[in-house]
Homo-oligomer: A and B are copies of this chain.
Amino acid sequence: MGLNEATRAPGGAAQEPFAPDLSVRIGPLVLANPVGVASGTFGYGEEYAALLDLDTLGALYTKAVTVEPRAGNPAPRLAETPSGLLNSIGLANPGLEAFIRDKLPALRARRCAALVNVAGATVDDYVRVVEGIEAAGGVDGYELNVSCPNVKSGGMAFGTDPALVALVTESVRRATKRTLVVKLSPNVTDIRETARAAEGAGADAVSAINTLVGMAIDVKARRPRLAMKTGGLSGPAVKPVGVAAVYRISRAVKIPVIGLGGIMTAEDALEYLLAGADAVQVGTATFADPGAAFHVLEGIEAWMREHRVARVSDIKGLLEG
């Protein structure tokens, strides 16, 4: 007999207010609710502070942090496509040292969980970032961005090779006991293989999807819209790809799956939760509506109330067919 039953009035007719439990456990970390903001779309939590109270959310996934400061890619870095956004920001970030000095204290003081998105060009880079932050007191968790080109394998992304995903995951795993999420690239033949590799190497969860490789051309100027030519596609356009990925991954691994890609509304988030996600992230939608993540959270809660669903993790069991 779940909470569901327990709160039903004896006669079964008049229903008492029903309070769903929104918390979600990811590794050692308990998120207050399943909604986070995606890496690269919310900075380090400061810029949108006036517009959205982060502490109402479950988690902040920071912009990537690398060992050295990075200025990022040449401009232009953005191009809009039908229902989508191409970006080639290029991991612009202040680097580990400045991050620890300027950003970490505020992150550690947050009431919502803070997970630092980690990027690198070698396995050692990832380890150094995590070790550095751990030495500085740590944060709630880490999200490994394995979509970065690996210098040792000629620029092929870590995330496209299960063996490399396993290697980077297990190396970082040794550096921290905190929640470790591996963020999977959709630019692979079978995303279940990289998900299993992450699970086998000790990840507490996987998140999916990072951006799809895409390109747009300015026909008038006869040149690629992005200075880097290709970039990463995000936004509603990729939602079906993300939902399919989460559906497949969640049937291939036992660890939690964090779903993202094109979530604009609570209904979009519920697609991911029904498909098998344990939590979600809102990325590009924040650019259209700074309050998007909060509206998503409100809507999930309302839906759980309406359907008297006790826990977020129960939602995936409701998918029929």
What is A's interface to B at a CB cutoff of 8 Å?
81-84, 86, 160, 187-190, 212-217, 219, 221-224, 227, 229-230, 233, 235-241, 243-244, 247, 262, 267, 270-271, 274-275, 303, 318-321
Q: Which residues of B contact A187 (CB under 8 A)?
A: 189
Distance of A2 from chain B, by nearest CB (Å): 17
B262, A213: Cβ atoms closer than 8 Å: no
Residues of B contacting A321 with CB < 8 Å?
223-224, 227, 229
A216 touches B82 (CB 8 A): no
Say whether, besides A222-B320, A321-B229, A236 and B274 are in contact (CB < 8 Å).
Answer: no
When the two chains form their complex, are residues A219 and B267 in contact, meaning their CB atoms are under 8 A apart?
yes
- Considering the complex, give the chain B residue whose CB is closest to the CB of A303: B219
Let me know if A244 and B214 touch, CB within 8 A: yes
Instruction: State the CA gap A153–B243 with chains docked (Å).
Output: 25
With A213-B241, A240-B214 given, is the CB distance from A271 to B82 under 8 Å?
Answer: no
Return 22 A-B CB contacts under 8 Å, by A number.
Answer: A81-B239, A81-B240, A82-B83, A83-B83, A84-B237, A86-B240, A188-B188, A212-B212, A212-B240, A215-B244, A216-B271, A217-B270, A217-B274, A219-B270, A219-B274, A222-B318, A224-B319, A229-B247, A230-B244, A233-B240, A233-B241, A237-B238
Question: Smallest CB–CB gap between A178 and chain B, Å?
Answer: 30
Known: A213-B244, A271-B216. A236 touches B83 (CB 8 A): yes
Minimum-distance CB pairs A-B, first 9: A214-B240, A82-B236, A237-B237, A83-B83, A215-B244, A82-B83, A223-B321, A217-B271, A215-B243
Apart from A82-B237, A222-B318, A222-B320, what 10 extra A-B contacts exist at CB < 8 Å? A82-B262, A84-B240, A160-B190, A216-B240, A217-B275, A219-B270, A224-B321, A229-B247, A230-B247, A237-B238
Which residues of B are found within 8 Å of A236, using beta-carbon distances? 81-83, 237
Q: How many copies does the complex hold?
A: 2
Tell me, in angstroms, the Cα distance from A289 to B236 when the chains sit together: 22
Contacts of A262 in B (CB 8 A): 82
Q: Which of A82, A221, A318, A319 has the most CB of B within 10 A?
A: A82
CB pair A217 B319 closer than 8 Å:
yes
Cα separation A202 to B144 with both chains bound (whole Å): 42
Q: Write the nearest CB–CB distance from A312 to chain B, whole angstroms.
A: 15
Q: Do A84 and B86 touch across chains, with their CB atoms under 8 A apart?
A: no
CB of A315 to closest CB in B, whole Å? 9
Q: How far is the CB of A230 from chain B (nearest CB, A)?
A: 5
Q: A82-B83, A84-B83 are in contact. Are A241 and B219 (CB under 8 A)?
A: no
In the assembled complex, how far is the CB of residue A188 from the closest CB belonging to chain B, in whole angstroms?
Answer: 5
Q: Could you say which residues of chain B place their CB within 8 Å of the CB of A319? A: 217, 222-224
A215 touches B83 (CB 8 A): no
Which residue of chain B has the shortest Cβ distance to A240 in the bound complex?
A: B214
Distance A219 CA – B263 CA, assembled complex (angstroms): 14
